[in-house]
């Protein structure tokens, strides 16, 4: 149980730091959030829990392929905000686009020989 609490606190701390840094400097906040800290922590936790090289390799490779469909959201949301669309509708559109692209990746990935 303590292990789960430590994982949750460390992960939450990263989010809190990013939000505070971004208030002062959006660019610095973006830099921190673009670092694969969550992915690295996930790999550390997975390795600690399983010590399974094959599982970790599959996880890391699948993470790469799932990052790609999330990237267009970071172009759509600012484009909509700059056109006067409100934050919540812009965020919802970005999330909907990402979900659609995730579904496409999930359906097309295995057909292209990707292990997701």
Does the pLDDT of residue 55 top 90, yes or no?
yes
Q: Please determine, for residue 96, whether its predicted confidence score (pLDDT) is greater than 80.
A: yes
Q: What is the pLDDT of residue 35?
A: 81
Q: Is 14 left (phi over 0), alpha (psi -120 to 50) or beta?
A: alpha
pLDDT in tens, 67-83: 999 999 999 999 999 99
Contact 65, 105 (CB under 8 A): yes
| C-alpha to C-alpha distance for 49 and 56, rounded to whole angstroms | 11
Domain ranges of the chain: 53-116
């Amino acid at each position: 149980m303590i292990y789960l609490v430590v994982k949750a606190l460390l992960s939450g701390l990263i989010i809190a730091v990013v939000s505070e840094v971004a208030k002062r400097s959006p660019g610095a906040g973006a830099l921190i959030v673009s670092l694969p800290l969550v992915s690295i922590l996930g790999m550390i936790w997975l390795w600690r829990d399983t010590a399974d090289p094959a599982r970790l390799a599959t996880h890391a490779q699948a993470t790469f392929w799932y990052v790609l469909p999330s990237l267009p959201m970071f172009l759509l949301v600012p484009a909509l905000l700059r056109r006067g669309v409100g934050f919540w509708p812009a965020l919802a559109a970005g999330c909907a686009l990402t979900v659609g692209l995730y579904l496409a990746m999930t359906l097309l990935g295995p057909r292209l020989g990707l292990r997701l």
